[in-house]
Amino acid sequence: MRKLLLLTIIISFLGSCQSSKVNLKKLDKTNPKVVAEAVLKSYQKKDLETLKMLASKDNAQTIQKFIISDLLVKERRIFTNKQWKKIEAWDGEIREVRFSDDLKRAYAMFDGDIEGNDLGEILVVKLILERKEWRFDNIVAYTRDSFDSLGYVME
């Protein structure tokens, strides 16, 4: 009886972990806001495999190196810096998406104050357009002023 109960708990836990993963098959990769949300969710869950699938071609190679690296290396290089703390505390909202003039880069703001100080820090998921799909490029910090100069807000 105990074994059955333990097995049921383990299966339930694994099922809940799987359902909280990003569903790449249903993800609208033509929408930069949706892709940025998936990137941040994958980052929060430390799901480097999914993050690699969302990444640009060049970035996917870098992420693969982290996947095969030692756990300690991953923790020190990816999951301990100031940006990680902001990603970990992310509230699930993308506040604004801006596009470069050539519409080949998008910047999805997830941390910072839209109406804030011109020198206040804003964190964005930087995306690039590859084969008509938005791909994860980097997490970048900008000042309010520099973020405002990135390009256009499109509804």
Give the distance, in angstroms, between the CA of residue 119 and the centroid of all CA atoms in the same chain: 24
Residue ranges per structural domain of the chain: 26-153
- Average pLDDT in the chain: 84
Percent of the chain with pLDDT over 90: 57
Q: 112 near 87, Cβ under 8 Å? A: no
Give whichever of 74-83, 84-93, 145-154 has the largest mean pLDDT. 84-93
CATH 3.10.450 fits domain 26-153 = yes
Compute the average pLDDT of residues 107-114: 86
Angle at 20 between CA 18 and CA 26, to 5 degrees: 90
What does the pLDDT read at residue 11? 36
Question: Cα separations (Å) of 32 from 15, 43, 55, 67, 127?
Answer: 28, 16, 12, 25, 7
How would you classify the pairing of strands 96-99 and 133-143? unpaired
Q: 136 near 55, Cβ under 8 Å? A: yes
Instruction: Please tell me the pTM assigned to this model.
Output: 0.81
Compute the average pLDDT of residues 4-20: 39
Q: 14-72: per-residue pLDDT in tens?
A: 343 444 578 988 999 999 999 999 999 999 999 999 999 999 999 999 999 989 988 87
